[in-house]
Amino acid sequence: MPAGAEATVDIAQGLGFYVFAGAVAIASLMAVTLRNIFHAVLLLIVSFVAVAGLYLTLDAAFLAMVQVIIYAGAIAVLMLFALFLTRNAMTTGNAGGRLQLSAAITGLMMLCLFLYTFVNTRWASGPATPPAFSPDTLADALFTTYLLPFELASVVLLVAMIGAIVLVKD
Amino acid sequence: MGVTLDHYMALSALLFCIGLYGALSRRNAVAILVAIEIMLNSVNIALVAMSRYIGGQGMISGQMFAVFIITVAAAEASVALALLIAVYRTRGTVNADEINLMKW
């Protein structure tokens, strides 16, 4: 790849990162602080889609699609349904609990701890040019190295499905 | 303006702490679930970034873990929301501080 094209890719990745990271941070912050819980779930969908964009800047196209389909498609709709089925939640709103202040302090302390750790960590350096991931590579690993976890995941999903049905059955 | 692994890890830490704050401070159980989904997402971002910047050719363990986390998150959301609806039927509320039957 010529140097000019590489620089263009670099700038595109940087721009994409800052745009999507800002969107994710703002949407998530609003989702946990807004009083209207319906708006909070809608902002959660925005955050999920922006995370999919972040995956695209990381060359993980397959994961980006999975993120949009499962998170923004399935989980968010599930949450909206639960919201409508527990209707009084809509009227009483999303008031903060008594733990508001201590929760904020805990979060800030955790953030400081994380950032301190990251600053003082020397990551193992990877290859200079990142490998190109394709869904083929992912599928190869999924059906060879990770075959047992793959089969177990299907059992987990089956158990969760049956459990959900049994729980809401009268 | 080269974006490095540190950028992604800092974003992931920020998201995790936002989720932690939400999970601790909200009363509504659906809002707590929203915060937990944000935390799961932050971990996924860290894993995929690691896979991109540290993993070599053919080493996609990070992305693979992210796939399994998404699977478990789907199962978790369905069971948690079913529990929530069951609790709402019997107690008429989804506020976490009013569901205190097992509190000593």
Q: Do the Cβ atoms of A10 and B64 come within 8 Å? A: no
Candidates 1.10.3720.10, 4.10.520.10, 3.40.50.720, 1.10.287.3510; correct CATH number of B5-91?
1.10.287.3510
> For chains A and B, what is the number of CB pairs under 8 angstroms?
238
User: Residue A46 falls within a domain, yes or no?
Assistant: yes
**A2 three-state secondary structure:** coil
Strand partners, B26: A96
Higher per-residue confidence, B45 vs B53: B45
CA distance B74 to B79: 9
**Ranges of chain A whose pLDDT falls below 70:** 1-7, 88-97, 126-133
Contact A129, B56 (CB under 8 A): no
A131-140: pLDDT as tens digits: 666 788 888 8
Global pTM value: 0.88
Q: How many domains does chain A have?
A: 2
Continuous H helices in chain A: 3-33, 37-57, 61-66, 76-85, 88-92, 100-119, 135-143, 147-168
Nearest residue on chain B to A121, alpha-carbon basis: B6
User: Residue A35 falls within a domain, yes or no?
Assistant: yes
A48-73: pLDDT as tens digits: 999 999 999 888 889 999 999 999 88
Domain that holds residue A164: 131-170
Contact A124, B50 (CB under 8 A): no
Q: Do the Cβ atoms of A66 and B70 come within 8 Å? A: yes
